[in-house]
Chain A
């Protein structure tokens, strides 16, 4: 017996020593950054100096520092050359400041940046949109508050982000907020997307379809029979597990809050309901039924539930004539796709019908943004660089497009053509800074950015803009919701079975697993938020 005890005892000692060693290390890191930064960074003197009057930071006092920027994308061959050019550009505006661009592959970005944040690696500017777990990371303290006077470096946005506040659409700064604190600066671009359908122009013209009558999915039905009879090579309706025609339907007034909860924004009172409630079920059932009906009538591609094809390949092959889609300025150009079918026009062009105007919600306005990591050694400098990305056109375009005549050529005053395989084309135009300052690509419409500005003016602002849900108190229920929802979602989105029984089964399971608790918590947080924000 004694003999056997030894091994675990040894183990225990081993792991204890390890734990002590490591925790000490961890503490060091945590203590190091906040205390170290005021001394190395110019903030202390900066905040005393009359920064209120001059928007330019006091240049002479800046210590040498390299601001690291992390964003998704393939690492670029000419990164170093571009970094050198950026440093040159910064020489006058931010002396002693360098920038390192860190592109991390799309598929690895989330995992890698989370690991870096968790292990306290010193990062400065991190691309952190809502769909990269921004709110949960911010709630857990991964990022620095940017408008917090009590921060060691002071209110970063007010001191070093003047240019941002002046250029960005003000709706943006209401969104990445938790408990009154701003945790990220969104990219200035189109504020939200609308929803609608896109129809292939050549087909619409050929059969003289009046697509302007389309307000909802069911309005498309009359066209389907025609396609089925006359176009044997086209699926009247195409869906697969990744892209279903049910994806971008109008929301019928129900704004999604996440984890199976909604509010009816057309009525007063902001009452949270679950997807299992009769009023929401009716909407879901109607559309799922329609899809199943089309499946049975042979309109929908039969392989919808199993196919692994990518929808764009099928579009290219000329087998799709309508899709559901998001809408925004320039969307029609973005949808244009090469015709690989062997006959017909060179490209397929699409006409868009809007079914819902853009609604600026928290998740829409936080779809592309940068945060400053808590581990940053000099958050003030990070903010200064970010600020320049909103105001300095040359700097931004160097980050996005590289160097003139090496990576792109100018074909117009504000228009460029990218040089193929030039060694720098990260494709991050929509990711960083003030997109309205980007050069236009040769295939983009001259008025793209004016359209953005106009579009943003017409966009409707959700009364809940700025509200975000913290799932922590009900994470057990959320986990159950996740498993149950995903179990049934594919089958409903691809139409092979009658949805009545499936929805009933799913909703019974959801109710049993405690979706009511999520609704309660959502309502509670929403009410608290409304009180706190005077809404």
Chain B
């Protein structure tokens, strides 16, 4: 049967196709349902949650969490701007320097390349901890409280460099490089004209991961940023929650604080923050996805 279909089209048979679709549908539902729940909770009123717990169709809807989050709308939008700018710039720089590092590593003819691999893998494992990093950033480089302090920490992620290197090694035929060299192309030209166009799927993948990293990073903002105008979105979101949590955790010591915690937001707010934070990244996803899905389906459309 498979032979017959193969002649017409290189693809699996209808039964297998149905099975695969069933599997993916089931998995997709498992992935989307919690998101739906998160969105619904973010629009649920607190009282409804206290009385009935989480429901997919709550007794009482409410926009209170969003009101709270956007109470200071200009701050939120500025933080959006910071996050978007940081993510775009960071990701572009990141894929460039990671690609530049990965390409020579993938060249099996390059002497001493093991040293450079080792230098990379070593940092994957050992790090000096927050204190020394803080000293380097603020006392040596003097980039505390600047965008650089948010940009630098997430550059050069060894894991993805290795992924790129492996991808180059398996998919770029050495013969192509050889012929390019014979044509007189320099290494940088080869990188720009051959490696990048042939490796769009892996560049898109790494760019996606880098985007997610930049977008979700709040810890570096916590460490390095004091200027409220430079705070990225996720930090802004998370600090609201963390502040509440922190005060709760230390209630015994801060009992004298006279804080009325019922005025402070809660679970619905946390969910609203997820919704607000996840939006742009989900919207940007199809842009990256193009590159690897396009590559994929080629195998089955042609035949």
Contact = CB atoms under 8 A, between A and B. Distances in A.
Interface of A: 3-4, 6-8, 10-11, 21-22, 25-26, 29, 74-75, 102, 104-108, 111-112, 115, 118-121, 129-131, 189-190, 193, 242-243, 247, 308-317, 319, 325-326, 328, 330, 334, 337-338, 340, 342, 367-368, 427, 430
B82 to A, nearest CB: 15
A72 B239 CA distance: 13
Contact of A115 (B131, B226, B254): B131
Interface residues of B, number: 48
Contacts of B119: 7, 10-11
A500 to B, nearest CB: 26
Given A308-B267, A328-B256, A107 B50 contact: no
A242 B228 contact: no
B109 interface: no
10 closest cross-chain pairs (CB), A and B: A107-B242, A131-B253, A312-B262, A7-B118, A312-B261, A107-B246, A334-B258, A106-B243, A316-B262, A326-B255
Given A102-B226, A309-B50, A6 B115 contact: yes
Interface string B39-64: 00000001100110000000000000
Given A112-B223, A312-B261, A317-B50, A3 B114 contact: yes
B222 interface: yes
10 contacts: A102-B226, A105-B222, A106-B247, A193-B255, A310-B261, A317-B51, A326-B256, A334-B260, A337-B262, A430-B258
Nearest to B259: A427
Contact of A107 (B46, B115, B239): B239
B139 A120 contact: yes
Contacts of A330: 258
Nearest to A4: B114
Given A22-B140, A430-B258, A242 B248 contact: yes
Contact of A118 (B131, B243, B248, B259): B131
A247 B252 CA distance: 8
B266 A313 contact: yes
Nearest to B270: A308
B300 interface: no
Contacts of A129: 253
A25 B137 CA distance: 13
Given A25-B139, A115-B134, A326-B256, 4 more contacts: A131-B253, A338-B263, A340-B262, A342-B47
B143 to A, nearest CB: 14
Contacts of A367: 253, 256
Contact of A338 (B139, B247, B252, B262): B262
